[in-house]
């Protein structure tokens, strides 16, 4: 009799524990992880980046689980909009056309567009480089401009350059890295993309540089399905505010923006255990410290 | 050099399993659906034959990527059916493969001469018995060479599901070349793509070698097929 009650009791406890675990909802996060420093995969295949770590910290704060998937940019809005994926965290600019499909969080980042061009050696300063064409030529001199499909950069070229009668043409790519490759290979003459990613690209090789920045003041937002059926936006917005109050947000910015990618990856692998054990503040401050060492 | 090994390791460890799993699942689905369709297209009653012909024509006539997008975004937008990306890719490519495979099997069944059927019937076999014991064993052997073609194309078609976010070999390739581009520069994109191409090539080569082995093993002396698979 005693044995039976022990078995029953442990069964009940086990079921209870499972139910509790099940209460920690898992939400599916979609991200185009070809876009450092906001999201990419490190040498071991771990997904990291500013957006993803902000989402991880919010999930820890608000007590839910997330599962991040690598997505192609051009179907992210469809798949979050349809509810197949729960959250989009992919450096997405808040735009009216996109709000037809998805609902955005409060802005968490402001970005401008940058124009990448090929370089030529600077005759005055050996070892230094100059842009092959200047920003005016790049935008209005009859050159071919590359951009990622359905990005705000591509939209800017269409609306502000081509529609206004300046002489330029637009080549669109599904992946941003392929636009950069085509720039270096000479198949396009300039590439427009958000400033942080452009700077990261230009840092990696001497063959390209940022010719100029276009002030667009775009706000990035996380996004969920239209009407927010799972009530996630409040959790995300409140989470971002809490991260700012805790100083975590500034540390994540310090860790990811303008730092060396390899260093950030090493710092991330050394620090992610802290986040997994629940120490959000410790994670962010160690990540920032190691990345800027 | 370490970047190459690291990338190769990542491709094999994180991309290859999904590609292999998907290939096997697609081929299996293609046989399970394609064989009955071929059988019914040859021996079925007229309305069934029409249905099978329609099925085969639809799924052979639509590009694989269009099918994938139809089953992925089309179903969710029009009917609210939310399949995981792997599943929508599996269904789309599986139906495509079953249509192609049905034609391989149909060709094999029909290349067994009508005289054999008549001979089998004349010694007292029922129609079903004749098909099962005389036609199909020969048709199976005849279908292996064209089936190696289907294996080779199904394997490489799996790369199309990267478009809907399935982390297989090609998607893993893009993740890796993004990273190495941002760290070592753009010329590395080509290196990583060549590594991926090499993996696809090795899979195709050894898969076909295995099928060639099967073909030789299944050979029956006196059954009129010319030549052997060279290995």
Q: How does pLDDT run across A177-209, given as a tens digit for each residue? A: 999 999 999 999 999 999 999 999 999 899 999
Residue A142 and residue A201 share a domain:
yes
CB distance A223 to A107 below 8 Å: no
Q: How many CB pairs under 8 A join A and B?
A: 97
Q: How many angstroms separate the CA of residue B193 from the nearest CA in chain A?
A: 12
Q: How many angstroms separate the CA of residue A30 from the nearest CA in chain B?
A: 9
pLDDT of A6 = 61
Question: Structural domain of residue A47, as residue ranges?
Answer: 22-108+221-291
For residue A11, what pLDDT band results from cuts at 50, 70 and 90? low
List residues bridging with A103 in a β-sheet: A224
pLDDT of A133 = 96
Spatial separation of the C-alpha atoms in residues A190 and A196, rounded to whole Å: 16
Q: How far is CA A139 from CA A134, A136, A143, A200, A214, in A?
A: 9, 5, 7, 21, 11
Q: How many angstroms separate the CA of residue B132 from the nearest CA in chain A?
A: 45
Helix, strand, coil % in chain B, rounded to nearest 5: 85, 0, 15
- CA neighbor of A177 nearest in space, from B110, B117, B180, B229: B180
Residue A242 and residue A199 share a domain:
no
Spatial separation of the C-alpha atoms in residues A26 and A23, rounded to whole Å: 9
CB distance A192 to A154 below 8 Å: yes
Residue A236 and residue A167 share a domain:
no
B104-121 pLDDT, tens digit each? 999 999 999 889 999 999
For residue B219, what pLDDT band results from cuts at 50, 70 and 90? confident
A256-268 pLDDT, tens digit each? 998 899 999 999 9
> Tokens at residue B193, please?
């793509």
Residue A31's closest chain B neighbor by CA? B165
Instruction: Choose the final residue of a domain: A201, A218, A235.
Output: A218
Only one residue has tokens 């990338």, namely: B7
Residue A97 and residue A154 share a domain:
no
Instruction: Name residues 153-182 of chain A within 8 A of B (Cβ).
Output: 175-178, 180-181
Of A43, A175, A180, the CB nearest to B186: A180
pLDDT of A24 = 74
A136-180 pLDDT, tens digit each? 999 999 999 999 999 999 999 999 999 999 999 999 999 999 999
List residues bridging with A116 in a β-sheet: A191, A210
The answer to whether residue B222 neighbours chain A at the CB level (below 8 Å) is no
Please judge whether A40 and B178 are an interchain contact, meaning their C-beta atoms are less than 8 angstroms apart: yes
State percent of chain A over pLDDT 90. Answer: 87
A139 falls within a domain: yes
Asked if pLDDT for residue A8 goes beyond 70, the answer is no
A8 falls within a domain: no
For residue B78, what pLDDT band results from cuts at 50, 70 and 90? confident
Residue A118 and residue A99 share a domain:
no
- CA neighbor of A88 nearest in space, from A38, A35, A28: A28
CB distance A113 to A156 below 8 Å: yes
Best of A29, A38, A45, A129 to disrupt the B interface (most B CBs within 10 Å) is: A45
Asked if pLDDT for residue A20 goes beyond 60, the answer is no
Please judge whether A72 and B167 are an interchain contact, meaning their C-beta atoms are less than 8 angstroms apart: no
Cβ-based contacts of A205 with chain B (< 8 Å):
185-186
Please judge whether B175 and A33 are an interchain contact, meaning their C-beta atoms are less than 8 angstroms apart: yes
Residue B174's closest chain A neighbor by CA? A34
pLDDT of B165 = 86
Residue A204 and residue A124 share a domain:
yes
A11 falls within a domain: no
Q: How many angstroms separate the CA of residue B195 from the nearest CA in chain A?
A: 16
- For A169, residues 6+ apart whose C-beta sits below 8 A from its C-beta are A143, A144, A145, A162
State percent of chain A over pLDDT 70. Answer: 92
B150-202 pLDDT, tens digit each? 999 999 999 999 988 899 999 999 999 999 999 999 889 999 999 999 999 99
Of B72, B167, B185, the CB nearest to A204: B185
The number of folded domains in chain A is 2
Spatial separation of the C-alpha atoms in residues A117 and A192, rounded to whole Å: 9
Q: How many angstroms separate the CA of residue B65 from the nearest CA in chain A?
A: 14
Instruction: Choose the final residue of a domain: A169, A189, A218.
Output: A218
CB distance A189 to A140 below 8 Å: no
Residue A117 and residue A55 share a domain:
no
pLDDT of B79 = 87
pLDDT of B169 = 97
Residue A194 and residue A163 share a domain:
yes
The answer to whether residue B149 neighbours chain A at the CB level (below 8 Å) is no
ipTM of the complex as predicted: 0.84
Residue A115 and residue A101 share a domain:
no
Per DSSP bridges, beta strands A208-220 and A109-121 are: antiparallel
Instruction: Name residues 196-215 of chain A within 8 A of B (Cβ).
Output: 200-201, 204-205, 207
Could you say which of 1.10.3720.10, 3.30.930.10, 3.50.50.60, 1.20.1260.10 is the CATH number of the domain covering B2-217? 1.10.3720.10
Please judge whether B14 and A70 are an interchain contact, meaning their C-beta atoms are less than 8 angstroms apart: no
Please judge whether A180 and B177 are an interchain contact, meaning their C-beta atoms are less than 8 angstroms apart: no
Of A42, A72, A178, the CB nearest to B179: A42
CATH of residue A47's domain is 3.40.190.10
Spatial separation of the C-alpha atoms in residues A200 and B27, rounded to whole Å: 42
pLDDT of A258 = 85
Could you give phi then psi for residue B123, rounded to 5 degrees?
-90, 10
Please judge whether A45 and B177 are an interchain contact, meaning their C-beta atoms are less than 8 angstroms apart: no
Residue A225 and residue A100 share a domain:
yes
Contacts 24+ apart (CB under 8 A), B187-196: B188/B3, B189/A177, B189/A178, B189/A181, B191/B4, B191/B7, B192/B7, B195/B4, B195/B7, B195/B8, B195/B11, B196/B11, B196/B15, B196/B169, B196/B170
List residues bridging with A121 in a β-sheet: A129
List residues bridging with A141 in a β-sheet: A167
Average pLDDT over residues A113-131: 94
pLDDT of A288 = 97
> Tokens at residue B31, please?
């046989």
Asked if pLDDT for residue A98 goes beyond 70, the answer is yes
Residue A195 and residue A180 share a domain:
yes
Spatial separation of the C-alpha atoms in residues A147 and A169, rounded to whole Å: 11
Asked if pLDDT for residue B65 goes beyond 60, the answer is yes
pLDDT of B80 = 84
pLDDT of A1 = 54
A15 falls within a domain: no
Instruction: Tell me what the pLDDT averaged over chain A comes to.
Output: 92
Average pLDDT over residues A273-293: 96
pLDDT of B196 = 97
**Max alpha carbon distance in chain A (Å)?**
93
Q: How many angstroms separate the CA of residue B10 from the nearest CA in chain A?
A: 7
Please judge whether B73 and A82 are an interchain contact, meaning their C-beta atoms are less than 8 angstroms apart: yes
The answer to whether residue A70 neighbours chain B at the CB level (below 8 Å) is yes
A203 falls within a domain: yes
pLDDT of B76 = 83
Instruction: Choose the final residue of a domain: A203, A218, A233.
Output: A218
A1 falls within a domain: no
Please judge whether B179 and A40 are an interchain contact, meaning their C-beta atoms are less than 8 angstroms apart: yes
Residue A183 and residue A169 share a domain:
yes
The answer to whether residue B183 neighbours chain A at the CB level (below 8 Å) is yes
Going from N- to C-terminal start, the domains of chain B cover 2-217
């Amino acid at each position: 009799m005693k044995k039976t009650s022990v078995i029953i009791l442990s069964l009940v406890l086990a079921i209870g524990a499972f139910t509790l675990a099940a209460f920690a909802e898992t939400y599916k996060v979609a991200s185009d992880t070809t876009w450092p420093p906001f999201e990419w995969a490190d040498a071991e295949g771990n997904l990291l980046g500013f957006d993803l770590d902000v989402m991880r910290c919010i999930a820890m704060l608000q007590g839910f689980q997330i599962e991040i998937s690598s997505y192609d940019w051009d179907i992210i809005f469809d798949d979050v909009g349809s509810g197949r994926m729960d959250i989009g965290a992919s450096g997405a600019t808040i735009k009216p056309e996109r709000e037809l499909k998805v609902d955005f969080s409060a802005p968490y980042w402001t970005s401008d567009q940058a124009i990448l061009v090929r370089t030529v050696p600077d005759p005055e300063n050996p070892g230094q480089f100059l842009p092959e064409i200047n920003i005016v030529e790049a935008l209005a001199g009859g050159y071919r401009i590359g951009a990622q499909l359905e990005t705000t950069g591509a939209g800017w070229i269409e609306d502000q350059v081509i529609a206004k009668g300046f002489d330029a043409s637009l080549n669109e790519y599904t992946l941003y890295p392929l636009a950069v490759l085509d720039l270096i290979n000479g198949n396009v003459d300039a590439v427009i993309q958000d400033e942080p990613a452009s700077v990261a690209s230009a840092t990696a090789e001497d063959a390209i540089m940022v010719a100029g920045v276009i002030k667009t003041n775009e706000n990035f937002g996380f996004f969920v399905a239209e009407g927010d059926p799972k009530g996630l936006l409040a959790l995300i917005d409140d989470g971002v505010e809490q991260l700012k109050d805790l100083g975590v947000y500034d540390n994540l910015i310090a860790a990811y923006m303008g730092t060396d990618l390899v260093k950030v990856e090493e710092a991330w692998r050394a620090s992610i255990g802290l986040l997994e054990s629940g120490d959000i503040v410790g994670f962010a401050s160690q990540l920032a410290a190691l990345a800027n060492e | 050099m370490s970047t190459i090994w690291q990338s190769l390791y990542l491709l094999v460890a994180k991309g290859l399993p999904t590609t292999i799993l998907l290939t096997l699942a697609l081929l299996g689905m293609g046989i399970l659906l394609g064989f009955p369709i071929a059988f019914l297209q040859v021996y079925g009653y007229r309305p069934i034959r029409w249905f099978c012909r329609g099925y085969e024509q639809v799924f052979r006539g639509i590009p694989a990527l269009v099918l994938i997008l139809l089953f992925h975004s089309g179903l969710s937008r029009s009917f609210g059916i939310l399949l995981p990306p792997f599943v929508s890719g599996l269904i789309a490519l599986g139906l495509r493969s079953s249509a192609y495979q049905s034609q391989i099997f149909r060709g094999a069944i029909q290349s067994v001469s009508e005289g054999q059927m008549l001979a089998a019937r004349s010694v007292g076999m029922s129609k079903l018995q004749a098909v099962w014991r005389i036609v199909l064993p020969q048709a199976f052997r005849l279908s292996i060479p064209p089936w190696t073609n289907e294996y080779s194309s199904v394997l490489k078609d799996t790369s199309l599901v990267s478009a809907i976010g399935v982390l297989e070999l090609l998607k893993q390739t893009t993740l890796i070349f993004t990273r190495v581009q941002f760290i070592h520069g753009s010329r590395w994109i080509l290196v990583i793509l060549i590594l991926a191409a090499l993996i696809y090539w090795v899979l195709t080569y050894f898969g076909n070698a295995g099928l060639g082995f099967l073909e030789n093993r299944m050979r029956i002396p006196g059954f009129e097929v010319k030549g052997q698979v060279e290995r």
